[in-house]
Every structure is written in structure tokens, then in C-alpha cells.
Amino acid sequence: MPHPGRSWRPQNEPATQPHEHVRGGTAKILTLFQPATGQVRLQPVTRSTNAIVHRWLKTTLTEIMAALPAVAASIDGDQTRRLWQAWQEGLTVRFTLPDDLPPLRLLLIWDNLTGHKTPEMVLWLCRHAIMPLYTPLGGSWLNLAEAIQRILKRRTLDGQHPQTLAEIGAWFETTAQAWNQQPTPFIWNGKRRQRRRKRPGDGHPVGAAAAHSRRPLPRHRKDRVKYRLSSQITHSHVRRFK
């Protein structure tokens, strides 16, 4: 529901927006984010069932894997398993790793939902050299996709008055394309990193999450109005394993 906001107008004649709340459904944005490069991939949908999310995620991850450089031939089976097991150290709940594991290529961090832990999906990720890591309950701030979603949502919808779900989805895609032309890498800025930093405050917070950027994000000079939007967003983010 858009509300009046500041703009260049004659005194006592503020710009206004329609105040009616049109219940036309919920727009959902599937998001895959790579903090190290700042690149984001998203898909507008109207439903986010496991079948829809998993199908899109498999397709997108396959494209990312195809663009990675070849694996070094010197990695043996025992070294590969130790590398996978290292990412399970300290976890309260661990899933059983398959006997046959390829060299680890990607880390996938997403929410701790039951649908994300289905045996079919976990085994598919392991077969494709992707290690799933789940954020704890109430730890959505650990998922940096939350931060990029807040940034894209403000740039897409602030001051706008969309009429349909398709319009919202198209605007999100356009905003993501513009972001990817000059992306901003995110740097993890959790409590552990803050304790190790020699110079506090040497970064710029982004998206109200535990991440910083090396340079501040540019602010939009366009006058906008505030809005209220009910939405459900399914999200995950990925970073390349080195």
C-alpha cells in the first residue's frame, strides 16, 4: 500500500498515490547470490513449492558448475572426503555423506527448512560436488541473500505502484540485470571476523545482514515514497569454494 512521501511539489500540494490495497496475490523471488563477486540470479514466481524451487536451483547450479575451471587431477579420494567432512565440523546435525564423493566445488548456504533436506535434493547436490550448509533456526541474518533481497526490493518497488504480479517480477529482473552490470562484493562481517580485525569500522554495512562491502553502495537520488508490501521470498546464496 503506497503512502505519500517527499517530492518537489508546490507547498501544501503533496504528491499522492492511490491508497487502496489490491489483493492480487503474492510475488515471490527465488534468489541465488554469490557474495564473493556480488553476482545475483533470481527468478520471479507466484508459488515456491519444493518442486519449483528445486527445479530452478538445479538448473541454475548446473549452469554455474559448467562455468567453473577444471578440477586438479592430483586430489585423491581420501583427501576429497576429508575436505567434505571439514565443513561438517561443529555442526549439531550432520547428514551422512555418500560413499562416492566428487571433489568439492561449491558451498550452498540456505535456510533450515524441511524441504531443503529431502534425501533426493541432498544426494543430487553431493553428486554434483556441492556441499549444502543450513543456517540455524532464527539465523536468517546469516544468509547474505537476505541482504541483497532488501537492496533489490528497495530499488525495485520504492515509490512505485505495480498493478500485477508479472509487473513486479519483470521489475525485479530488470533491477537485478542493472545490479550485475556493476555488482558489489559482500564481505563476511560476523562477530568472529570483528574480533580478528585490526581496524574496526573499515567497511560499509549492507542490507542489515552480517556483511560489509569495501565501498558504500550508491544511493538513488530519485525522490521516492514509502510502501508496504506483503511478500514471501524463498532464498539461498552460493559462494565459490576455493
Domain boundaries, the chain: 24-68+77-224+233-242
> Which residues of the chain, if any, have pLDDT below 70?
1-7, 17-18, 72-74, 189-205, 207-212, 214-242
Pairing of the two strands 130-134 and 106-110: parallel
pLDDT digits (tens, 9 = 90+) for 160-207: 888 889 999 999 999 999 999 999 888 776 565 555 555 555 566 676
Residue 94 is predicted with a pLDDT of 86
- Name the β-bridge partners of 238: 108
- What is the model's pLDDT at position 188? 72
Quote the pLDDT of residue 126: 94
Q: Average model confidence (pLDDT) for the chain?
A: 80
Q: Whole-structure pTM over 0.75, yes or no? A: no
Cα separation, 173 vs 166, whole angstroms: 11
Residue type, 95: F
Provide CB contacts within 8 A for 16, sequence distance 6+: 4
Q: How high is the pLDDT of residue 223?
A: 44
- The burial class, CB within 10 Å (0-12 / 13-18 / 19+), for 90 is exposed
| 128, three cell numbers | 554434483
Q: How far apart are the first and last CA of the chain?
A: 45
Alpha-carbon torsion angle 123, 125, 126, 129, nearest 10: 160
Cβ–Cβ < 8 Å for 235, 146: yes
